[in-house]
Structure 1
């Protein structure tokens, strides 16, 4: 059995006496343990009372965080002609069509989000087995298949995050950096939770938001009282 560090043992003892509180309390406590030598990413995990095996309970969407994620997002845009020029002007990091598809099929994946114009989806469709499992496949329901390159790219660059419920009913999303002010992390978390509430499926019965946990890259999970979010 691996030996636990003194730091981890101390944290576990402290958390064992902790009562889940509000988002404000959760963010405050999270910061006590976000003491790595780099600016740790703050994540939120929301356990939903849904069964993703049923299509009518699949939760997937996007939300614009009011204070962004603190991360530089590399956007790849599939577009041609004037739309390619528009994508470049909007701030896309990589723009192209067949050339990018071949590069991706060759193993290149140095990007974070993918958008595409509808008229090049024939090219993008070949990449389903590569992009799909990574959650990168452009999707009209998420607004990432569109001719409005300027809007979608600017929204992503400004802090839009995509989320999708896992098989276990959990949504994971990054909501900022440990260096963010407490209130900014709280407001980002609230924005995601409010979006999830709006998306509650009619088929979902019982408690919808069952558990909420905050964590930083190197820190422990901090549970929040799900009844008060």
Structure 2
């Protein structure tokens, strides 16, 4: 508790007002003073009720500046598609035996990709992968015959997003070591993807609030007008 209190004393910037995007990025980076390269995260409050099917927001976005993370990709495929996935850089590749390993508790991966012909087997993993938001889904490109491209996208900075029960989207959009410009580009790509994913059932104000924070730092509100400026 003492270390946390000491860290908060070094924080700078007003967390109660909305800042222009470039200023918010600078403040978040300035307050990312942990002894490791903190992740920079975006939180977006959406005017939707995810309990209704026509108000759920889910999609995928390729962050132009990447994520700064080493994404471990598991691919459920067989034969030629398995070979393609391996050649593309997938960390774990397998068919029925991989499904059985995951059922048994193996979870050493961050993204799961599957070919359409394997979905009968992958369906067994709903209770394991579903709660973690990792179940392959054609809507976000993780069920696809083009496994090589899907692996490259996942490794190159493609991230999935989906609304939580409270209508909030959380996503990592880079690292504190990124340049201001790299983070600005990623934020704008994220907001653009959310706007494109606006569900038909959304009424009133869609994007209600945007804020940025680092792993161990405070959150700063972002003036939405500055994002599109």
Same fold by TM-score greater than 0.5: yes
CA distance in 1, matches of 2:19, 2:113: 39
8 Å Cα contact 2:19/2:220 also seen in 1: no
Give the structure 2 partner of residue 169 of structure 1. 167
8 Å Cα contact 2:13/2:27 also seen in 1: no
CA distance in 1, matches of 2:102, 2:147: 21
Cα RMSD of the aligned pairs, angstroms, is 1.5
Give the structure 1 partner of residue 47 of structure 2. 49
2:186 corresponds to 1:188? yes
Count how many residue pairs are aligned between Structure 1 and Structure 2: 226
Q: 2:204 aligns with which of 187, 203, 206?
A: 206
Q: 1:122 aligns with which of 113, 117, 120?
A: 120
- Structure 2 length normalisation: TM-score? 0.94
SS in 2 for 1:71: coil
Cα deviation, 1:69-112, whole Å, max 9, x if unaligned, reads 00000000000001110110111100001111111111110100
SS in 2 for 1:152: helix
SS in 1 for 2:153: helix
Give the structure 2 partner of residue 15 of structure 1. 14
Give the structure 2 partner of residue 101 of structure 1. 99
User: Where in structure 2 are there 5+ consecutive unaligned residues?
Assistant: none
8 Å Cα contact 2:76/2:115 also seen in 1: yes
CA distance in 1, matches of 2:140, 2:202: 21
- Structure 1 length normalisation: TM-score? 0.94
Check 1:146–1:199 CA distance in 2 against 1; reply closer, same or farther (3 A cut).
same
Q: Runs of 4 or more off by more than 4 Å in structure 1?
A: none
Q: 1:221 aligns with which of 206, 219, 222?
A: 219
Give the structure 1 partner of residue 146 of structure 2. 148
User: Where in structure 1 are there 5+ consecutive unaligned residues?
Assistant: none
Deviation, 1:195, is: 0.9
CA distance in 1, matches of 2:147, 2:199: 30
